[in-house]
Amino acid sequence: MVEIAPSILSADFTRLGEQIAAIEHAGAAYVHVDVMDGHFVPNLTVGPFIVESVRRATQLPIDAHLMIENPDNFIGAFAAAGANLISVHPEATYHLHRTISYIHQAGCRAGVVLNPATPLAMIEEVVNDVDYVLVMSVNPGFGGQKFIPSTFEKLRRLRTLIQTSGSRARIEIDGGIGIENAAAVVAAGAEILVAGSAVFGKPDPAKALRELLDAASVQASERSLA
């Protein structure tokens, strides 16, 4: 089943609770929170404080995407604030396996993130230890960027890696996702679609979410008939 994780990066923060309630009601599966430190990526966003507010606004699992250096220092704080899933970039930590253990010890599902230029080999040794792999289809740091087409091939190779290794990891995709490419990324292996501007950047986020879910699910049902 395809799931959508709207990213609040493109939300109206003056009406955050209301906007999250709208997408929850419309069928979102997660709330994706983009955490940026101004070092690992050239932008600054939010910390555990906002995750705590999001936690009070929704029952949905919170998917914290940490684009920060030394994520080990903050895993406890994000878990305590209410994050349910925490993903980290392999380049941002010295001991990825240990970081994944910390996420699990904090009671969260653990994900690893692949930047567009990061090879699959970076996560091969931990693919059986993680709950999901997040494939970046733009360079992290900003919402509203253009989808990088080479991601399709990477998704297919990742799906093969997961199948052959017996991993139970799910595949999440993040960056430039919209109704025009949702079906294609699902066909290539994506199971959870992050969408910022395609949901919260639209005048009616709930309607945009339903349309995205429809666009993504058509492909999924066609695939299950095949």
Site pattern 158..197 for Zn ion (x: CB under 5 A): ----------------x-----------------------
**Residue 174 interacts with ligand DX5 (CB under 6 A)?**
yes
Q: Which residue, 10 or 219, is less far from ligand DX5 as judged by CB? A: 10
**Residue 53 interacts with ligand DX5 (CB under 6 A)?**
no
Count the helix, strand and coil residues of the chain and give each as a percent rounded to the nearest 5: 45, 20, 35
Q: Which residue, 24 or 34, is less far from Zn ion as judged by CB? A: 34
Of 160, 201, 157, the C-alpha closest to 177 is: 201
**Residue 63 interacts with Zn ion (CB under 5 A)?**
no
Which one of 47, 70, 141, 148 is in contact with ligand DX5 (CB under 6 A)? 141
Instruction: Give the nearest residue (CB) to ligand DX5.
Output: 196
Handedness of CA 15, 20, 21, 23 (dihedral sign): positive
Contact of residue 9 among ligand DX5, Zn ion, none (CB under 5-8 Å per partner type): ligand DX5
Contacts with ligand DX5: how many residues (CB under 6 A)? Answer: 21
12 has catalytic annotation: no
Q: Exposed, middle or buried by CB within 10 Å (0-12, 13-18, 19+), for 122?
A: middle
204 has catalytic annotation: no
- Transcribe 123-192 into DSSP letters: GGGGTTT-SEEEEESS-TT-SSPPP-TTHHHHHHHHHHHHHHHT---EEEEESS--TTTHHHHHHTT--E
Handedness of CA 65, 205, 219, 145 (dihedral sign): negative
Contact of residue 118 among Zn ion, ligand DX5, none (CB under 5-8 Å per partner type): none
Torsion of the alpha carbons at 156, 161, 162 and 165, rounded to the nearest 10? 160
Determine contact, residues 156/117, Cβ cutoff 8 Å.
Answer: no
Contact of residue 115 among ligand DX5, Zn ion, none (CB under 5-8 Å per partner type): none
Q: Which residue, 48 or 196, is less far from ligand DX5 as judged by CB? A: 196
Q: How far is the CB of 65 from ligand DX5 (least distance, A)?
A: 5
Restricted to residues 191-210, the positions that interact with ligand DX5 (CB under 6 A) are 194-198
Radius of gyration of the CA atoms of the chain, in A: 16
**Residue 65 interacts with Zn ion (CB under 5 A)?**
yes
Using CB under 5 A, list all residues that contact Zn ion.
Answer: 34, 65, 174
- Please give the positions annotated as active site: 34, 174
Contact residues toward ligand DX5 (CB under 6 A) are: 7, 9-10, 32, 34, 65, 138, 140-141, 143-145, 174-177, 194-198
